Amino acid sequence: MPILPGLVRYDEVAAGIINHALRFTAPVTRRQYIYPARHFAADSNDASLPPMGLRVRLKASVDLSRFGPQSQVLLRALQTYGMILADNGSPWYVTGAPNVGWDDDDMHQLQTLHGADFEVVDTSSLTSG
């Protein structure tokens, strides 16, 4: 999957809105992919592992008020558009474009989220066109 379209970009956060899905990573994935992904990066066929392209959305019940302003912009995007598993890496890691404007303390609050805060989005009706 292309990297740039799924990055969190500072200009969007500063404007107060991200209007697209974000990309995220997981430490171990399945040897499978679903649209919009076009590759897998694993040797395991274990059905308990996520495939590349898996889309998840932050549950509407997650209280955003405990997060800082930059995190809240990102979290609203995750509640609306979700995020797509795009690579192997750190668990639940959302990739951002570098910028000196990021408030690291604010963004580190995202580490308090857990997998149970997300729901899988059924994308089986989507096709590659």
Name the token pair of 75: 């979290």
What is the reported pLDDT for 1? 66
Q: How far is CA 99 from CA 8, 45, 47, 62, 102, in A?
A: 10, 38, 38, 27, 6
Distances (CA, A) of 59 to 44, 101, 113: 29, 28, 11
Summarised one tens digit per residue, pLDDT across range 45-81 is 999 999 999 999 999 999 999 999 999 999 999 999 9
Q: Report the candidate in 98, 123, 118 with the shortest Cα–Cα distance to residue 4.
A: 98
> In this predicted model, what pLDDT tens digit does every residue of 3-16 receive, in sequence order?
788 999 999 999 99
Token representation of residue 49: 């592992």
Share of the chain above pLDDT 70, in %: 96
What is the residue-averaged pLDDT of the chain?
93
Beta partners for 94?
24
Kindly tell me the sign of the dihedral angle through the C-alpha atoms of 27, 30, 31, 33: negative
What are residue 88's phi and psi, to 5 degrees?
Answer: -85, 145
What is the value of pTM for the model shown? Answer: 0.90
DSSP track, 56-113: EEE-TTS--TTS-HHHHHHHHHHHHT-EEEEEESSTTEEPB---TT--HHHHHGGGG-
